[in-house]
Amino acid sequence: MTRFTMLQVHATFHHHLWSLPSRGMILIRTFGSRFHFVRSIMYIPGYAVCHGVILFSLASWNTNFGVVAFHISRNQWNRVEVDTAVNYAIFIGRAVVVGTTIYALCGNCVRALSLSMQKGDDGGIAYSLRQLFILEDLEIARPPLPFEVHGDDYFVHLGKRDFCHVKTGYNAGLMVQYICITTFQIVVGEAGRDMIKTIHSTVHSVEMESPQWFYLVSCFARDCGDYEPTGDESNWILQKEAKQENGETADRPHEIGSYGRVGTFY
């Protein structure tokens, strides 16, 4: 696939094994007008950008996790209520948004989530994330030697319901680092349920000048636009939530749906 050959990978090098990922550390606790420092250290393992909102997944070494939302135009932070079915960091790396569905990496699986936004009487917005399903059976090519230490995964949207998964890791003493690159689609199976269809998977080696390793910072395909839902779609979600409370049906904006056909949000 031409998209596969044009994939760009940005990486950050680390000279010792226990460096922290470039996604960085963050010390935060309450989400109001200010942040303040606390004893527990949290970091951001992943995020999603959709409907004028940036969703940050938070995690700490004691396995606590949470999600916060930053509304760009309102310049406001809010907590996000997370489905109780999710028991660990909800985003790993950058999540991909297609229509009203958020797709996020979950090991060798893909988690599908739905974002709900409800406007309160005080004008504020209440956010909640609900897990729709988890897609398994992503077939990833294996490097000549299994990774001793798992490094990073990255999720790239190639348009419609086509995706690319990039994975790397570390092997002590090797002068090469391997990158596994897999392209796949999310399709409708015989039972009418979404499923993963692996298109191609391969392993590339990167020669290293010294015993060091790198993390993935970002990956993208130059011939694929970076689509993120706009503020207009955000307003539609708020209208939909309000009308559903009153027993009404909200008109849905149209988009280019799965497999190139024009349709409504799924």
How far, in Å, CA of 256 to CA of 238, rounded?
21
How far, in Å, CA of 107 to CA of 153, rounded?
8
| Per-residue pLDDT reduced to its tens digit, 115-158 | 998 888 888 889 999 999 999 989 999 999 888 887 778 888 89
Instruction: Write out residues in the chain with pLDDT < 70, as ranges.
Output: 1-40, 62-64, 87-88, 223-266
In the prediction, which pLDDT does 212 show? 77
- Strands (DSSP E) contained in the chain are 7-14, 25-26, 42-50, 53-60, 65-71, 76-82, 93-94, 96-98, 101-106, 109-119, 125-135, 149-159, 162-170, 176-188, 194-207, 213-221, 254-256, 262-264
How far, in Å, CA of 265 to CA of 262, rounded?
10
Q: Are 11 and 214 in contact (CB under 8 A)?
A: yes
Cα-to-chain-centroid distance, residue 171: 26
Predicted TM-score of the model (pTM)? 0.70
